[in-house]
Copies of this chain bind each other. A is one copy, B any other.
Amino acid sequence: MLTQAAEDYLKSIYKLQEKGGKVSTGILAEYLDVKPASATGMIKKLKSMNLVSHQRYQGVTLTDAGKAVALEIIRHHRLLELYLNKALGVPWDGVHEEAEKLEHVISEDVEARMDEFLGYPTADPHGSPIPDKNGVVPETQSIPMTDIQNGQSCVVAEVSDDDSALLRHLGSFNLYPGTAFQVLEVAPFDGPFTIDIAGQQAVIGREVAKNIFVNKVDTIDIA
């Protein structure tokens, strides 16, 4: 059995690897809010278990075994988030924190039952893809909202899950995955976005927009 800390390291390496290939000790340490020396220590431990590859000064990479573990934890986390939201009505800004604790203790049996209850879903309440039980991650090709031009219509695909204040803010505009909106105006000099959501106007700051990923659509369905 792996410790909770080891599982957290693997999960973090996976997520950082997604964004930018090799994961340096420093980046990993910063992400986990520990000192680089601590990260080096855990990396050595994970390497001895053949869960990561690592050569000094070259950064870490997950091995196939390590990736499998990381994906399993991520699957736990995202299924739990969706289950807590759908089955127990936990608001979407609260599920992350709860899942963070439960993901390390839930059994495969209970996970399978939640999966079945939910109808084998492919995304959590924030739009993040849920790996299947073999570790296959559903493909997504969303783009950052900050790349969207004036007049373009889009649908929210995914938002960051770990900042509950941000999630409450997005919720107040109904900016959940699946929600359509049109960009009315992008203020110059990296200014805020004015958007139209189902007839309501809203102003979304750039720092907020960075946490929103969307798919472009040709026209908005007017419901």
CB of A102 closer than 8 Å to a CB of B? yes
**Beta-carbon contact of B105 and A101 below 8 Å:** yes
The segment from A82-90, A142-150, A163-171 found at the interface with B is A82-90
The residues of B that contact A134 with a CB separation of less than 8 Å are: none
The segment from A19-27, A107-115, A187-195 found at the interface with B is A107-115
CB of A98 closer than 8 Å to a CB of B? yes
Secondary structure at the A interface, as helix, strand, loop or mixed, is: helix
Complex interface residues of chain A between 96 and 123 (CB less than 8 A to chain B): 98, 101-102, 105-107, 109-110, 113-114, 117
**Beta-carbon contact of A110 and B87 below 8 Å:** no
Instruction: Return A85 CB to nearest CB of chain B, in Å.
Output: 11
When chains A and B are docked, how far (Å) is the Cα of A88 from the Cα of B79? 14
**Beta-carbon contact of A90 and B105 below 8 Å:** no
CB of A135 closer than 8 Å to a CB of B? no
When chains A and B are docked, how far (Å) is the Cα of A102 from the Cα of B105? 7
CB of A94 closer than 8 Å to a CB of B? yes
Instruction: Return A4 CB to nearest CB of chain B, in Å.
Output: 11
CB-CB nearest in chain B for A87: B87
**Beta-carbon contact of B113 and A88 below 8 Å:** yes
When chains A and B are docked, how far (Å) is the Cα of A94 from the Cα of B107? 11
Most B CB contacts (10 A, CB to CB) among A84, A89, A94, A110 go to A110
Q: Interface on A for B, CB 8 Å cutoff?
A: 84, 87-90, 94, 98, 101-102, 105-107, 109-110, 113-114, 117
- Jot down 21 A-B pairs with beta carbons below 8 A, ordered by A: A84-B110, A87-B87, A87-B117, A88-B110, A88-B113, A88-B114, A88-B117, A89-B113, A90-B109, A90-B110, A90-B113, A94-B109, A98-B107, A98-B109, A98-B110, A101-B105, A101-B107, A102-B102, A102-B105, A102-B106, A105-B105
9 pairs of A and B residues whose beta carbons are closest in the complex: A88-B113, A101-B105, A105-B105, A98-B107, A102-B105, A98-B110, A89-B113, A88-B110, A90-B110
